[in-house]
Amino acid sequence: MKVTFRASFHRDLKKVKDKDILQKVKEHIYSAEEASSLAEIAQIKKISGSRGYYRIRIHEYRIGVFVSGDEIEFVRCLHRREVYRFFP
């Protein structure tokens, strides 16, 4: 899949201090690049009521993504208590 990033995703990553979380985010980005479908991406789940929006769970953090055709856009990376206020 083609992977793109929003500026909000980069801003969120700068605020994450836990190196384990950052490493897991990197692994999910690589797996999304190599995946040919959503089923190949680990821990991804559709967000109900929002067409094309999904989340990837990493411990206490969530990555918000938007999927359109063969493109996956990483939108946000926030703690689970904050992510649904700002995404989708």
Check pLDDT > 90 for residue 88. no
pLDDT of residue 32: 95
Q: State the distance between the two ends of the chain, measured CA to CA, in whole angstroms.
A: 21
Q: Name 3's Cβ contacts closer than 8 Å, sequence gap at least 6.
A: 29, 32, 33, 71, 72, 73, 74
The secondary element (H helix, E strand) that includes residue 61 is: strand 61-68
The pLDDT tens digits of the residues spanning 17-73 come to 999 999 999 999 999 999 999 999 999 999 999 899 999 999 999 999 999 999 999
Q: Which domains does the chain have, with CATH numbers?
A: 2-86 (3.30.2310.20)
Check pLDDT > 90 for residue 76. yes
